[in-house]
Structure 1
Amino acid sequence: MQMANSNIVDFPLPPAQENFDLNLVADVLVIGGGPAGAWAGLAAARAGARVVVAEKGYLGTSGTQAAAGTGAYYIKPDDPVHREGMVNSRLPIAFGFAETDWIEKVYDQSFINQDLMSRWGYAFPRTQDGNQERWGGLRAADAVQFLRHQLEKHGVTILDHSPALELLLADGAAAGATGWNRRTGKRWQVRAGAVVLATGGTAFRSGIAGGNNNTGDGYLLAVEAGAQLSGMEFSGQYGIVPKGSACSKTAVYGSATLTDAHGQVVSRGKGTTIAEIQTGHVFCKLDKYDDIGRERIQAGQPMTFQYFKRHLPIDPFTQEYEVEHILEGTIRASGGIEVGDGATTTVPGLFAAGDTTSREKLVGANQSGAGPATAWALASGSWAGHSATLFARKYGGDAATRKVAYAGTAGLRPTERARADLDVKALIAGVQDETLPVAKFYRRDGKAMSSALDKLDGLWRDARASLAGDSGLRGADYARSVVRAREAAAMIAAARWIFASAIERKESRGLQRRSDYPVIDDKQYSHVITGGLDQVWVKRKPVSGSAHLHARAS
């Protein structure tokens, strides 16, 4: 494993303009159309920028927010008691990485954004006394769909079903991207003064609701351009679901009786996870809800209870059913692209927002959950869009004419002859073998991780040398084969960065749980930064002086 940043790639020149079916020029290109991407596009457009948003699915219905819905934390203005409570509530479980000033900025911005939504006409639910209920009020797909309408009103160009497959660089700065439309098979290029990555995290296609498109694409795009990641070891986040379901809403199980295969009552969280690993089964009954609680939880978590109505026809409040753990990964954890003030990355002109970024300064080494994660999406999206607009005005005025180079590597531009026998499904299965099993990925062992990393390095070498789209296909079929190849490469890369970081952190802290280093070690109190393509590197970075080390045990 290399210990310094040697992320150097020879970038070939892009093909001629006529090789693209769609050529666009923008001040700001946003890649990803969840809440973070939508807010990035809105912030840029409201500041007067020409904006293009490229979304892998359909903006308004794709992604984990649209599939499940969740509330967004915020701080009430001029309410010091509420402010103190919101800032301090999660510090004890942040394990020393959260920063109070960062938390305040995020939750203040979250309030501003939700207030704007209210002013624009978004119908937040109301409590019995008639007040808006914002926490818990961003109801599933309608919130992101509402933001889509706002983007359209502001003249933003939306490219649906159009994943970005590689970034364009000009003199080391982000200068746009290219991709394919998966439905039409048309190839597109956007030259831009600045780029925002908002592609979400990854659960390695575990089956989590809305997570199929979250394959770590943003990580690969960022590192290919020269950015770095932080906290990728904090990724072993699992959610509880009814066995065979996909909607992991931990809040549902706050008033439940949970038992292992032997009938012993276990606690939610670590208790249920260990119970599944050790006994093979976990069972649940939602028997601690009163009548009002039943009404509220069903209204607040409709996806979970739809499963009971359509697929498991029982009364979960009186009847026992089996649950299991499903990987939520970096979608609900805290690792990702390292960003600074204004959602900047280490690459000029490249900004990042939402689940694709590190959230360590907000939630520390623990899971980002629901409320904090959504607040972060709203806040970081706004900051990224604003920062990208300012950068484009100052440096990106010649976006249409700059000499650009492609940054894409594995899955897109093989170094050797493409191999027809290199099966994308087999590559993804190889990654999932190392990342999905709760018995392997929840509590980690150094020797097992080293073995996994060796395997993943081999998969990367194969992908780098010989993985590409199926040249025997045409049109949309070919476009989808290119996208699948690129997704496989991104998942391999993400897993390598996770395991390299987890091997480097020789302790158990938050979501980093090691059987061979089971306690917190103060000597390990630093960020683990990673990157690199053909050779993964890791390095240490001091934790900010404004972080607060509260917890002393994992």
Structure 2
Amino acid sequence: MQELSTDVLVVGGGPAATWAALDAARAGADVVLADKGYCGTSGATAAGGTGVWYVEPEPAAREAAMASREALGGYLADRRWMGRVLDRTYANINELAETRGYPFPTGPDGRQLRNGLQGPEYMRRMRIRVKRAGVRVLDHSPVTELLRAADGSVAGAAGHRRQEGHDYLFRAGAVVLATGGCAFLSKALGTDTDTGDGALFAAELGAELSGMEFSNAYGIAPEHTSVTKTAFYSFATFYRENGEELEGAASQGGRSVIARELLTGKVYARLDRADPAARAAMRLAQPNFFLTFDRLGIDPFTERFAVTLIAEGTVRGTGGIRIVGDDCRTTVPGLFAAGDAATREEICGGFTGGGSHNAAWAMSSGSWAGRGAAGYALALGAGAARRSVSAAGGAGLRPLGARDVDAREVIRAVQGEVLPYEKNYLRHGEVLTGALAVLDETWTRLRSGLHGTGRDAVVARQAAALTANARWMYRSALARTESRGMARRLDFPGQDAAQHHRIASGGLDEVWTRPLTAVAA
């Protein structure tokens, strides 16, 4: 066991984590970043390109940007937070361009197009920036649990260094969870590190979650591939197996149409609505989208190809750890959350739609959480490293009974309830109740008998996190007896004005939900 100390520990390695580490260091804190993978290459952003919610500070443009998603999100977003994120994103993107030389492409008028980032280049530069700021980066060092101080505040974390083969423990004055969302190991590109670990760690300290019903996001991908760049399918015509056009599949609610058709047959697409200018722009914006087609010798603009839907859970959804302050603090003292690990309801309500808003939220919330964590830790002073601490982790680490449960069996059981379209996407109360019965029984079994040490502890904790996230997700979905944002119910297809509020959730052995204060109309 390697024991160390720091002011701020950042857990994660994507954009939210790197911005948090960078701004915590710039605020004068000693910072450690611990990533499950290799910081700069792990996570959904590093695997591809992403749009960014970057809007010039012109009143009409800002008003249009904020209004554009309010209805889609069920009017659960907060205009003040939207404005803060637009301001912070504008500043961070301009910093990347003007002082860090990020190579944004230029438009016909010669001006840089700053509303998109190429993930590999973006994250390569963020890793360099973090290390130059003096942050200690622990690659391949997944955190497995948080540490609790005697007063209930967070006091650090413990984990395992895969390549060095030993466990570690970091005492810290504050912790930022930027571990990403939960995609349930669906194989969507770049999401295998996104297993909801941060939400489990936070809940074990008593933190709350919010918006977990907004988690049934599915991305369109060519069959047998993992690239879910759904925005390009706005240029597509969809077809049944017999060649008949699939009506409604290209509309705003088209994925429901596709999901129903996939239950009985195949669905095909062709990007035949893109004109030559759009085709060129698409290849420039998302080159990895076309790699599969090029390797298979398919021209997606002229030839039909089979498509599928891949679950992306809270990565493309909006649910996550509840934040209770402008600095992205949680309900646990000293614990902060950023990026997809945190709820994005503040700017998206119940619907995100993909990278643009999530990318802006990642860099903005990362900056705020890093600064907030630094201020909290520095106020504690050197005494933080000498606090008496206890381990907070339970499921997968400290079983209550015989150690006879296999993590892989747990993962398969959870995936059987959350990946099928007919359970998670086409939601119905009776189906959700049946799925929850399986998930609750799975949790009871793993809590009693799942155990791992060293490298095996990482897998065991991922299995526990998947189960916990699924239970919060479906319990929240049952609590919202209406259709709002992406949380749609076949048995409650309408929107209920009496449910114009967010839903908090939490708990482990006993999962609970409760309505939060109604959002101002």
TM more than 0.5: yes
Q: Give 1:479 shift.
A: 2.5
Q: Residue 196 of structure 1 corresponds to which residue in structure 2?
A: 176
Q: Helix, strand or coil: the match of 1:64? A: coil
Query: Which of residues 504, 507, 520 in structure 1 aligns to 2:479?
Result: 504
* 2:426/2:489 contact within 8 Å kept: yes
Tell me the equivalent position of 2:494: 519
Residue by residue, what CA displacement relative to the aligned partner does 1:461-501 show, whole Å, maximum 9, x if unpaired?
111111111xxxxxxxx632111011000000000101111
| CA displacement 1:179-231 (0-9 Å, x = unmatched) | 00122222111111100000000110111000011101011000001100011
1:161 aligns with 2:158: no
2:306 corresponds in structure 1 to: 322
Q: TM-score, normalised by structure 2?
A: 0.96
The superposition leaves residues 267-320 of structure 1 with CA deviations (integer Å, 9 ceiling, x where unpaired) of 32533432342442211111122222111101211121001122x321111111
Q: Check the 8 A contact 1:276/1:282 in 2, yes or no.
A: no
Mapping of residues 24-39 of structure 1, within 5 Å? 24-39=4-19
- CA offsets 1:14-54 (integer angstroms, 9 cap, x no match): xxxxxx1x222111100001000000000100111100000
C-alpha separation in 2, matches of 1:127 and 1:190: 47
Write out aligned runs for 1:120-199 (5 A): 120-136=100-116, 138-170=117-149, 171-199=151-179
Q: Deviations over 1:118-164 (max 9, x none)?
A: 2122222222332221102x102110110110011111000001111
**Equivalent-residue separation in structure 1 for 2:49 and 2:156 (angstroms):** 31
d(CA) in 2 for partners of 1:376, 1:369:
12
Q: Residue 4 of structure 1 corresponds to which residue in structure 2?
A: none
Question: For residue 110 of structure 1, what is the aligned residue in structure 2?
Answer: 89
How big is the shift at 1:396?
4.9
Q: 2:397 aligns with which of 392, 398, 412?
A: 412
The residue that corresponds to 1:442 in the other structure is 425
1:381 maps to 366
1:366 and 2:341 are equivalent in the alignment:
no
- Check conservation: 1:273, 1:325, Cα contact below 8 A: no
The answer to whether structure 1 residue 265 and structure 2 residue 249 are counterparts is: no
| Corresponding position: 1:99 with 2:84 | no
Match of 1:494 in 2: 469
Q: Secondary structure at the match of 2:24?
A: helix
| Structure 1 stretch displaced more, 247-256 or 153-162 | 247-256
Separation of aligned partners in 1, 2:238 and 2:455: 42
**Conserved in 2, the CA contact under 8 Å of 1:531 and 1:537?**
yes
Deviations 1:230-264 (A, max 9, x none): 11011111111001111111121121211233513
Equivalence for 2:268: 283
Given that 2:36 and 2:141 are in contact with CA atoms closer than 8 Å, whether structure 1 keeps it comes out as yes
1:420-455 deviation line (CA, Å, top 9, x unaligned): xx2211110100011001122112111221111111
For 2:331, the equivalent position in structure 1 comes to: 346
Identity %: 45
| Paired amino acid for 2:478 | I
Alignment partners' CA distance in 2, 1:96 and 1:261: 38
Structure 2, gaps ≥5 residues long: none
Equivalent pair of 1:99/1:361 in contact (CA under 8 Å): yes
**1:527-542 to 2 correspondence within 5 Å?**
527-542=502-517
Residue 405 of structure 1 aligns with an amino acid whose one-letter code is S
CA distance in 2, matches of 1:196, 1:502: 27
Q: CA deviation at 1:503?
A: 0.9
Q: Give, as a single letter, the amino acid of the residue that structure 2 aligns with 1:129.
A: D
2-structure distance, mates of 1:106, 1:335: 17
Counterpart amino acid of residue 487 in structure 1: Q
| Long gaps (5+) in structure 1 | 1-19, 470-477, 549-554
Residue of structure 2 equivalent to 1:14: none
Count the aligned residue pairs: 513
Cα shift at 1:504: 0.9
Amino acid at match of 1:434: E
Give the TM-score normalised by structure 1. 0.90
Q: Out of 85, 95, 98, which is 2:64 matched to? A: 85
CA contact (8 A) 2:501 2:519 kept: no
Measured in 1, the distance between the counterparts of 2:53 and 2:356 equals 5
Q: Determine helix, strand or coil for the equivalent of 2:182.
A: coil
Alpha-carbon offset, residue 397 of structure 1 = 3.2
